[in-house]
């Protein structure tokens, strides 16, 4: 049993957490939230999304937000979601800001990919190839495989389905891939086995894990991901980001809970729990919780 000394916790609350919130949070408050998170020691934040503002009104202020961020230095990585070539153009126009990375999501489930992105997996992978080419020498591109551990429409996801998307991402030159349990359907054994298998086949890839706590297994899945060699975990401040299709479902694993678990197990994240709790309380107030 090998426990790491250190794990990187990437904060996705400002993007994945906020995107389902109906009440629009003012750009100033989003910036204050990001500043607070960075002040707590967070060094990787998925800050916003370059999707069409009609699709996700909450994130319609991507440019304004990025322009408003302070200069954090090169050790802080600010990333944004990009859905298509138009989104990539918008991202490339922001490289004078702190933005240094984009994320492209493709689902392992054909049904989820169509529901989420309105196109087939093959179409998404072709677009990913195009987007990645646009980025060369300008901005880093990460990949994320949605529904990698189960799909609300299709149920179980086979290793072949995950593998196919990964092959497409690697062909596009991507070096870091997030395995996302979008619907929170994964179990600890499955997480361990999937990560172990992928690490064996693709030893050069950096794997990150994006978990939801929908079924109360978020913490158990984190532990088994870490034991399989995951070194990057994604979490959301306050656990924000429930699935809009499952009322009352718990959302992303919460940042505070994640770093508390890691700290108890002697694993360093460089993040101050008390300051994360302050961010959570402030955000809860703004969202009227």
Applying CB under 8 A, the site for its own copies has a residue count of 22
CA distance 132 to 122: 15
For its own copies, the binding residue among 131, 157, 217, 233 (CB under 8 A) is 217
For its own copies, the binding residue among 9, 148, 222, 230 (CB under 8 A) is 222
Q: Nearest approach, Cβ of 17 to its own copies (angstroms)?
A: 18
Q: Nearest approach, Cβ of 192 to its own copies (angstroms)?
A: 6
- Cβ distance 49 to 83 under 8 Å? yes
CB-wise, 134 or 215, nearer to its own copies? 215
Task: Pick out residues in 225-284 that bind its own copies (CB under 8 A).
Answer: 227, 257, 260-261, 264-266
Q: Nearest approach, Cβ of 21 to its own copies (angstroms)?
A: 23
- 79 phi/psi in degrees, rounded to 5: -120, 165
CA distance 182 to 16: 11
Coil, helix or strand at residue 215: coil
DSSP letter assigned to residue 94:
T
With CA atoms as reference, report the closest residue to 170 among 138, 207, 118, 225. 207
- Quick one: how many helices (H) and strands (E) in the chain? 10, 8
CB-wise, 98 or 255, nearer to its own copies? 255
- 78 phi/psi in degrees, rounded to 5: -100, 125
For its own copies, the binding residue among 32, 126, 220, 273 (CB under 8 A) is 220
Q: Nearest approach, Cβ of 43 to its own copies (angstroms)?
A: 24
215 tagged catalytic:
no
Task: Pick out residues in 147-206 that bind its own copies (CB under 8 A).
Answer: 187-190, 192
According to DSSP, the residues that pair with 45 across neighbouring strands are 11, 78
CA distance 82 to 91: 8
Q: Which stretch, 68-76, 126-134, 172-180, 210-218, contacts its own copies (CB under 8 A)?
A: 210-218
CB-wise, 201 or 265, nearer to its own copies? 265
Element (H, E) at 179: strand 176-180
Quick check: 82 binds its own copies (CB under 8 A)? no
Quick check: 285 binds its own copies (CB under 8 A)? no
CA distance 105 to 229: 22
**Catalytic residue list:** 243
- Tell me which residues touch its own copies (CB under 8 A): 1, 3, 187-190, 192, 215-217, 219-220, 222-224, 227, 257, 260-261, 264-266
């Amino acid at each position: 049993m090998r426990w790491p000394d250190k794990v990187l916790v990437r904060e996705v609350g400002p993007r994945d957490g906020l995107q389902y919130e109906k009440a629009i949070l003012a750009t100033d408050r989003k910036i204050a939230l990001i500043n607070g998170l960075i002040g707590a020691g967070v060094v990787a934040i998925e800050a916003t999304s370059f999707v069409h503002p009609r699709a996700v009104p909450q994130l319609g202020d991507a440019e304004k937000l990025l322009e408003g961020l302070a200069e954090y230095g090169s050790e802080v990585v600010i990333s944004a979601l990009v859905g298509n070539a138009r989104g990539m153009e918008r991202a490339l126009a922001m490289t004078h800001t702190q933005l240094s990375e984009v994320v492209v999501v493709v689902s392992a489930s054909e049904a989820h990919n169509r529901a989420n992105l309105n196109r087939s997996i093959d179409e998404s992978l072709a677009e990913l190839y195009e987007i990645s080419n646009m980025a060369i020498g300008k901005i880093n591109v990460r990949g994320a495989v949605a529904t990698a551990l189960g799909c609300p429409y299709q149920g179980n996801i086979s290793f072949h389905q995950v593998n196919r998307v990964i092959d497409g991402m690697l062909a596009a030159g991507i070096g870091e891939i997030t395995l996302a349990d979008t619907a929170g359907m994964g179990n600890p054994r499955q997480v361990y086995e999937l990560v172990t298998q992928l690490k064996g086949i693709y030893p050069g890839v950096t794997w990150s894990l994006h978990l939801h706590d929908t079924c109360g297994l978020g913490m158990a899945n984190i532990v088994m991901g870490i034991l399989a060699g995951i070194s990057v975990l994604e979490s959301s401040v306050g656990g924000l980001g429930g699935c809009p299709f499952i009322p009352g479902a718990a959302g992303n694993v919460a940042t505070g809970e994640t770093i508390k678990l890691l700290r108890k197990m002697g694993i360093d994240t460089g993040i101050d729990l008390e300051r994360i709790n302050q961010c959570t309380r402030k955000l809860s107030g703004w969202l009227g919780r």
